[in-house]
Amino acid sequence: MAITAKGFVPNELRATGNGPIRIDIVNQTDHVHNFVLPKYFLFTQNLQPKEKTYVSFVPDKAGRFEFYSDTGGKKEQGYSGYLQIDHK
């Protein structure tokens, strides 16, 4: 997933929760951003321009969960999306 000047691309992710999920993230902007998925207590470090990272977890619940960037301690306008986890 890319963090762009227009937000997260894509901003809708879908996964099947029967094993580990890995989300690769690259900050393609000229500003610092991060990735937060609070329902799973996932937080990246602040990503400098062009920096890459990933998060990995095993989901224990299905549903639609918001993720966002909160550099500076509050949600950044336009930098949010949703992860849909379906269990088989």
Residue range 24-69, pLDDT digits in tens: 999 999 999 999 999 999 999 999 999 999 999 999 889 999 999 9
3-state secondary structure 41-88: CEECCCECCCCEEEEEECCCCCEEEEEECCCCCCCCCCCEEEEEEECC
pLDDT at 88: 67
What pTM, to 2 d.p., does this model score?
0.93
Determine the topology of domain 2-86 in CATH.
Immunoglobulin-like (2.60.40)
Q: Measured between alpha carbons, how far is 57 from 75 in angstroms, rounded to an integer?
A: 22
Q: Is the pLDDT of residue 17 over 80?
A: no
Judge whether 13 and 41 are in contact, CB under 8 Å: no
Q: How far apart are CA 2 and CA 87, in angstroms?
A: 25
Split at pLDDT 50, 70, 90, the class of 72 is confident
